[in-house]
Amino acid sequence: MTLPGYLTIPENTFNARIHAAWERSSPCMLCPRQCMALRKKGELGFCRTGIHPHIASYGPHFGEEGPISGTRGSGTVFFTGCTMGCRFCQNYEISHDRVGQEITVHDLADIFLYLQERGCHNINLVTPTHQVPAILESLRIAIKGGLQIPIVYNTSGYESPGTLSLLEGIIDIYMPDFKFADEETGKNLSCTTNYPRICEEALREMHRQAGDLTLEDGIAIRGLLIRHLVLPGRTSESEKIIKFIAEQISRDTWLNIMDQYRPAGEIRKTCPDGYADMLRRVSDKEFVHVRKVAEKYGLVRGLE
């Protein structure tokens, strides 16, 4: 069995990464927003969370991609808050409304170990960016308790290079979204600046660190898996995203093209001008078209 990367990191290096992560958290520079919130003094960042771990739920999850969920489930931990502000978020209550509870790093370590004891194939950190320092601190505790399954970093793709650099060798599987190819779409639908450029840089760094997705007995142990949610009326952006992945990341990238968009969150009440298509679901024609584009570019891993 291949050991998770975090078990090969020297203790002094791991400790230095933890220290650096806490330093980046207050004033906060963990995500590209650089909101500079003094989280150690009780201020909430754009992510709507403070310095301590804040989670909405955890448990084995069987609805992820096959190599992630496997037969025993992915050990998901849903973190409260988010560095993005997607108007259409399917988990709006968690990302925007702070549903969940604040816990300690020792509690979070116990959750990691519990998920391993349940037989989960991995620890799946959902929306983790703004909680990186607490996650690393909890991992250090859990490692001493016997943690030895891969870590999945399940993210929006809106990542800071400085924060990603602290995760090298610790995160085994990167699972980012690539949401938008046009900056204006990101601005109007997610309150982000330069989302396409930032996501492209993040994906390059993730692939440099972890490479293409590697499986053992059908289960992911290391590498990059990208998700793309097809948005209604925006297949031209999907085409740009697919072209970028094929030409600048790798044609062996595992790409999950998803069709489950539905109008959720605040988009139903405050749909921006020019985005009326976001009030409907993705059509079969749009979804099939995007899949065919992926096939044209040779991105077939994940289309099975």
pLDDT tens figures, 242-275: 999 999 999 999 999 999 999 988 998 889 999 9
Question: Could you give the CA distance from residue 226 to residue 91 in angstroms, rounded to a whole number?
Answer: 19
Question: Could you give the CA distance from residue 283 to residue 266 in angstroms, rounded to a whole number?
Answer: 21
* Closest to 181 (Cα-Cα) out of 293, 276, 288: 293
Q: How distant, in Å, are the alpha carbons of 15, 113, 182, 230, 287 from that of 236?
A: 45, 43, 10, 10, 12
Which of 95-99, 107-111, 168-172 bottoms out in mean pLDDT, i.e. has the lowest?
95-99
Question: Could you give the CA distance from residue 116 to residue 101 in angstroms, rounded to a whole number?
Answer: 22
pLDDT tens figures, 188-219: 999 999 999 999 999 999 999 999 999 999 99
pLDDT surpasses 80 at 1: no
Stretch 73-96: mean pLDDT, rounded? 93
The answer to whether 137 and 105 have CB atoms below 8 angstroms apart is: yes
pLDDT surpasses 80 at 122: yes
Stretch 90-102: mean pLDDT, rounded? 88
Structure tokens that stand for 86 in this block: 């997607």
Stretch 126-141: mean pLDDT, rounded? 98
Q: Among all chains, which residue has been given the structure tokens 């310095």?
A: 51
pLDDT tens figures, 16-73: 999 999 999 999 999 999 999 999 999 998 999 999 999 999 999 999 999 999 999 9
The answer to whether 257 and 290 have CB atoms below 8 angstroms apart is: yes
Provide the pLDDT for residue 91.
87
Provide the pLDDT for residue 171.
98
pLDDT tens figures, 178-190: 999 999 999 999 9
Percent pLDDT > 90 in the chain is 90
Provide the pLDDT for residue 268.
86
Average pLDDT, the chain: 96
Provide the pLDDT for residue 245.
98
pLDDT surpasses 90 at 304: no
Question: Could you give the CA distance from residue 120 to residue 297 in angstroms, rounded to a whole number?
Answer: 34
Question: Could you give the CA distance from residue 119 to residue 219 in angstroms, rounded to a whole number?
Answer: 13
Percent pLDDT > 70 in the chain is 100
> Where does the pLDDT of residue 2 fall: very low under 50, low under 70, confident under 90, or very high at 90 and above?
confident
Question: Could you give the CA distance from residue 159 to residue 143 in angstroms, rounded to a whole number?
Answer: 25
Domains and CATH numbers, the chain: 5-296 (3.20.20.70)
